[in-house]
């Protein structure tokens, strides 16, 4: 009789632990009908199909890595290597960006070599928001404001 009770208690503990784990991971939310229906900003939460549709509709133009120097007086203190991608409206916008890519890279080099990329010279903190807005402005001036939606900074690396 003791063995049966121990076995039943063990099975209940295993099932409870497994169910608790599934609940904690959120895997039972849909089954139980719980979870946030609206996000914090008041917009409705997208279901998985809508997220997949948006991801499939997004078109990106991958840019080659580009470097920007950080000066300390007359000398280069270190280099910043940026890997970026442009999110564009559709495939025709992607073709438009690709057609002006050499001019765009030239403008990006001129901008990054003449304007500072660090927020604070003492700490060396890189001002990514400023870089994104400058590159977005450059790209939109060459391609059109409707074509380019965002600049995504994929990787930032300090060298030296």
DSSP string, 131-149: HHHHHHHHHHHHH-TTTEE
The pLDDT of residue 119: 75
11 versus 101: which is more confidently predicted?
Answer: 101
Mean pLDDT (the chain) is 81
Domain limit, last residue, from 40, 55, 70:
55
152 and 133 co-located in one domain: yes
CATH code of the domain in which 143 resides: 3.30.479.30
93 and 63 co-located in one domain: yes
Q: 59 exposed, middle or buried (CB, 10 Å; 0-12, 13-18, 19+)?
A: middle
SS3 category, 88:
strand
The pLDDT of residue 89: 87
Residue in this structure with the two tokens 């450059």, named with its chain if needed: 138
137 and 92 co-located in one domain: yes
84 and 111 co-located in one domain: yes
39 and 70 co-located in one domain: no
18 and 68 co-located in one domain: no
15 and 49 co-located in one domain: yes
87 and 135 co-located in one domain: yes
Confidence of residue 116 (pLDDT cuts 50, 70, 90): confident
Domain limit, last residue, from 55, 80, 97:
55
* Total domains present in the chain: 2
107 and 129 co-located in one domain: yes
The pLDDT of residue 10: 85
8 contacts 14 by C-beta, under 8 angstroms: no
Q: What range does the domain containing 127 cover?
A: 58-159
Cα separation, 43 vs 136, in Å, equals: 26
98 and 138 co-located in one domain: yes
92 and 144 co-located in one domain: yes
40 and 77 co-located in one domain: no
Percent of the chain beyond pLDDT 70? 78
What pTM, to 2 d.p., does this model score?
0.61
Domain limit, last residue, from 55, 81, 100:
55
């Amino acid at each position: 009789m003791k063995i049966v009770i121990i076995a039943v208690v063990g099975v209940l503990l295993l099932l409870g632990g497994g169910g608790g784990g599934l609940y904690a991971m959120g895997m039972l939310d849909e089954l139980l009908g719980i979870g946030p229906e609206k996000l914090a900003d008041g917009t409705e939460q997208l279901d998985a199909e809508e997220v997949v549709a948006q991801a499939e509709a997004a078109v990106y133009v991958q840019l080659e890595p580009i470097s920007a120097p950080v000066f300390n007086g007359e000398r280069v203190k270190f280099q910043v290597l940026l890997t970026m991608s442009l999110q564009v409206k559709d495939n025709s916008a992607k073709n438009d960006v690709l057609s002006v890519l050499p001019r765009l890279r030239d403008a990006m080099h001129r901008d990054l070599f003449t304007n500072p990329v660090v927020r604070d010279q003492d700490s060396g903190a890189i001002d990514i928001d400023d870089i994104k807005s400058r590159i977005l402005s450059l790209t939109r001036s060459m391609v059109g404001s409707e074509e380019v939606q965002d600049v995504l900074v994929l990787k930032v690396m300090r060298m030296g």
